Amino acid sequence: AERHPALPEVAGRRIAELGAGPGVPGLVCGKLGAAEVALTDKAELVPLMARNIELNGLSATCRGEDLDWPMALGSGLAVQRRGGGGEKAL
C-alpha cells in the first residue's frame, strides 16, 4: 500500500476507528504501517471486523473490539485508561 500525500501519516502510530462497521479505514491504516489499530463498533459487528482483519493479513496489527458508547469511559481505549495519552493527534 502506498500513502497518498493528502492523507495523514499513520505509520508507527496507534489508531482507533470508532463506529468502524466493516473497518475499511482502519484496515487501510494497518496496511499503511500503523503500529496498532483498534476497530470498534457494536458487539454484533466484531465478528465481521475480525474476519476482515484476517482476510487482509492484519491480525498482528489490527483488532476488533466492541465499544458501547454509554460504557465508553470504562473501555481500555479511554484516555483515562491509557495513562493520559501523550501522543500527538493526527
Cell of 72: 465508553
Number of residues assigned to the chain: 90
Residue 52's pLDDT band (cuts 50, 70, 90) = very high
Contact by Cβ (8 Å): 31, 25 = no
pTM: 0.76
Q: What is the model's pLDDT at position 25?
A: 95
Q: What is the DSSP letter of 57?
A: T
Answer yes or no: is pLDDT of 51 > 90.
yes
Element counts in the chain: helices (H) and strands (E): 2, 3
Mean pLDDT for the stretch of residues 41-69: 94
Q: Using one digit for the tens of pLDDT, what is the confidence trace for 2-33?
A: 677 887 899 999 999 999 999 999 999 999 99
